[in-house]
């Protein structure tokens, strides 16, 4: 369905046109009419399908059609990165309207807290917030939700995983009971349905998310001992010198630090990112990565959701994620919006049972490759022994890696601030790399 067929505000359609969006994605096609009809909604769709635009477009339409003072919409999300991303998308889509938005996510300076306080007390149209930071502001007594009409929970499953359930319930208790509530999630676990029953009224349901990798992702698997993983990363990076945008996911902050230092010593253009880094540092890393000034980012799952960086060539899972769903989110960073991408996962003996669960989830058996000969023989695929034998060598543990005898060693075995209502810019909205490309596309960026 084309965006012009939804009956959206003309100024909103003008911005959509400048961003070169034309065809709605499936989640947008189903969600936008329901939201325009004032229905509560629970939407389930995997990363990269356009969930964010699915709820921002109808909300912006309503604000453009009936402007008012005060906070109209509250969007709760789990991470700073996702809050900033939603904020940036809204600013682009709202460019020709008078709608304003502000992201409240913490980690900033005293002046940033004051700007958040003004947005919450004087009423930006849309507030995007992480639950913990918003709860701190609410405790000070100046947050005014009296005119709120819409509540949106984005990445609701991740918020519950992090432990935000109590905060969410407390925040909802401060909102008007008469409102439209929307909930979006990448999974439909029992805890999500329980929360939906508590906060939604007779919701419409959209479920597009049998969590499967996007069709454009080529998936490869290497069976490797822990001590083979570093040289295997080098082998893959050197095999693809033309790849200029690479994400490497590690399971712990310690591994992120160790692997990034290893690659730095080998003269790779790399930066690290985890929750140990201050928000300003994380933003610098992201901006450098988006601008292709940094070729490789090594990160924890802080980046598996909540970023929208186009044309990532390669995702490497240095470790198998503990949650099978997270595998889909990790590799979903590549092949977004119907493009192509490569995702490579390293599987050690202790991780084989976890990867077997992933194969069950995606309903596909992937070919298991051995490391290159110069790195030595890798482990054999055996899911029966891994779960009970959790000894790991190399990083993150000591002793053997779960195979028979010691593993062979390889040679290297060691947001920008939102504008105010009074400072709306004139002219065309900014066009990034994606919006400048030729030909129409759909709005699948999240």
CATH number for the domain spanning 341: value is: 3.40.50.300
pLDDT at 363: 83
Decide: 365 and 359 in contact? Cβ < 8 Å: yes
Q: Is residue 112 part of a domain?
A: yes
pLDDT of residue 416: 37
Q: Please state the rounded mean pLDDT for residues 74-96.
A: 91
The pLDDT of residue 344 is 96
* pLDDT confidence tier of residue 283, bands split at 50, 70 and 90: confident
Mean per-residue pLDDT over the chain, rounded: 83
Residue 47, pLDDT score: 63
pLDDT category of residue 295 using cuts at 50, 70 and 90: very high
Whether the pLDDT of residue 385 is over 80: the answer is: no
Query: Are both 54 and 181 inside the same structural domain?
Result: yes
276 and 377 in a single domain? The answer is: yes
**Does pLDDT of 391 surpass 90?**
no
State whether 40 and 138 are in the same domain. yes
What is the number of domains present in the chain?
A: 2
For residues 135 and 77, membership in a common domain is answered with yes
11 & 116 share domain = yes
Question: Is residue 411 situated within a structural domain?
Answer: no
192 and 238 housed in the same domain: no
3-state SS string for the chain = CEHHHCCCCHHHHHHHHHCCEEECCHHHHHHHHHHHCCCCEEEECCCCCCHHHHHHHHHHHHHHHCCCCCCCEEEECCCHHHHHHHHHHHHHHCCCCCCCEEEECCCCCHHHHHHHHHHHHHCCCEEEECHHHHHHHHCCCCCCCCCCCEEEECCHHHHHHHCCHHHHHHHHCCCCCCCEEEEEECCCCHHHHHHHHHHCCCCEEEECCCCCCCCCEEEEEEECCHHHHHHHHHHHHHHCCCCCCEEEECCCHHHHHHHHHHHHHCCCCEEEECCCCCHHHHHHHHHHHHCCCCCEEEECHHHCCCCCCCCCCEEEECCCCCCHHHHHHHHCCCCHHHCCEEEEEEECHHHHHHHHHHHHHHCCCCCEECCCHHHCCCCCCCHHHHCCCCCCCCCCCCCCCCCCCCCCCCCCCCCCCCCCHHHCCCCCCCCCCCCCCCCCEECCCC
Residue 302's pLDDT is what? 66
Please report the pLDDT score of residue 329 as a whole number: 74
Instruction: Name the pTM for this structure.
Output: 0.62
Mean predicted confidence (pLDDT) in 45-72: 89
- Indicate whether 403 belongs to any domain: no
Last residue of a domain, one of 210, 239, 266: 210
Average pLDDT, integer, range 275-301: 86
Task: Check whether residue 38 and residue 129 sit in a common domain.
Answer: yes
Is 335 found in the same domain as 264? Answer: yes
Residue 431: inside a domain: no
Is residue 285 over pLDDT 50?
yes
Domain-embedded: residue 120: yes
pLDDT above 70: percentage of residues in the chain = 80
pLDDT of 108 strictly over 70 = no
Q: At what angle do helices 324-331 and 352-362 cross, to 10 degrees?
A: 70
Over range 394-413, report the average pLDDT.
38
Region 133-139: mean pLDDT is 96
The parent domain of residue 106 ranges over: 3-210
Mean pLDDT confidence for 262-268 = 96
User: 185 with 263, same domain?
Assistant: no
Same-domain check for residues 205 and 281: no
Residue 143, in any domain of the structure: yes
Domain end marker among 353, 386, 419? 386
Instruction: Judge whether residue 395 has pLDDT over 60.
Output: no
> Is 400 a member of any domain?
no
Let me know whether 180 and 202 are in one domain.
yes
pLDDT at 377 over 70: yes
Among the candidates 386, 418, 440, a domain finishes at 386
User: Do 165 and 255 reside in the same domain of the chain?
Assistant: no
User: In this structure, is residue 436 part of a structural domain?
Assistant: no
């Amino acid at each position: 369905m084309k965006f012009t067929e939804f009956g959206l505000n003309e100024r909103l359609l003008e911005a959509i046109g400048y961003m070169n969006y034309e065809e709605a994605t499936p989640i947008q096609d189903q969600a936008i009419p329901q939201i325009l009809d004032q229905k509560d909604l629970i939407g389930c769709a995997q990363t990269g399908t356009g969930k964010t635009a699915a709820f921002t477009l109808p909300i912006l339409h309503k604000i453009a059609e009936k402007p008012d003072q005060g906070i109209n919409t509250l969007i709760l999300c789990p991470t700073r990165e996702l809050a900033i991303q939603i904020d940036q998308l809204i600013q682009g889509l709202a460019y020709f309207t008078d709608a304003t938005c502000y992201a409240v996510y913490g980690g900033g300076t005293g002046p940033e807290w004051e700007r958040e306080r003004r947005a919450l007390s004087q009423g930006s149209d849309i507030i995007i917030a992480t639950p913990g930071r918003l709860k701190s502001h609410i405790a000070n007594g100046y947050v005014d939700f009296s005119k709120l009409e819409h509540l949106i929970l984005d990445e609701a499953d991740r918020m519950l995983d992090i432990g935000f359930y109590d905060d969410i319930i407390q925040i909802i208790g401060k909102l008007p009971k008469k409102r439209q509530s929307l909930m979006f999630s990448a999974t439909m676990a029992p805890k999500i349905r329980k929360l939906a029953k508590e906060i939604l009224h007779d919701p419409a349901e959209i479920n597009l998310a049998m969590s499967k990798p996007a069709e454009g992702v080529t998936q490869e698997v290497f069976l490797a001992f822990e001590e083979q993983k570093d040289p295997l990363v080098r082998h893959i990076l050197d095999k693809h010198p033309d790849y200029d945008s690479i994400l490497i996911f590690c399971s712990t902050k310690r591994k992120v630090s160790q692997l990034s230092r290893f690659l730095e010593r080998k003269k790779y253009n790399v930066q690290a990112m985890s929750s140990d880094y201050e928000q300003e540092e994380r933003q610098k890393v992201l901006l450098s990565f988006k601008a292709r000034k940094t070729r490789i980012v090594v990160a924890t799952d802080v980046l598996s959701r909540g970023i929208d960086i186009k044309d990532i060539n390669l995702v490497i899972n240095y470790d198998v994620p503990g949650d099978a769903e997270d595998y889909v989110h990790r590799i979903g960073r590549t092949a977004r919006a119907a493009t192509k991408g490569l995702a490579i996962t390293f599987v050690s003996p202790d991780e084989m049972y976890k990867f077997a669960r992933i194969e069950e989830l995606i309903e596909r058996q992937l070919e298991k490759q051995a490391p290159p000969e110069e790195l030595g023989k890798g482990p054999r695929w055996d899911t029966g022994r891994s779960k009970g034998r959790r000894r790991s060598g190399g990083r993150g543990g000591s002793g053997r890696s779960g195979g028979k005898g010691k593993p062979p060693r390889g040679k290297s075995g060691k947001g920008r601030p939102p504008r105010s209502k009074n400072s709306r810019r004139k002219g065309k909205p900014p066009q990034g790399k994606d919006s400048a490309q030729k030909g129409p596309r759909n709005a699948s960026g999240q």
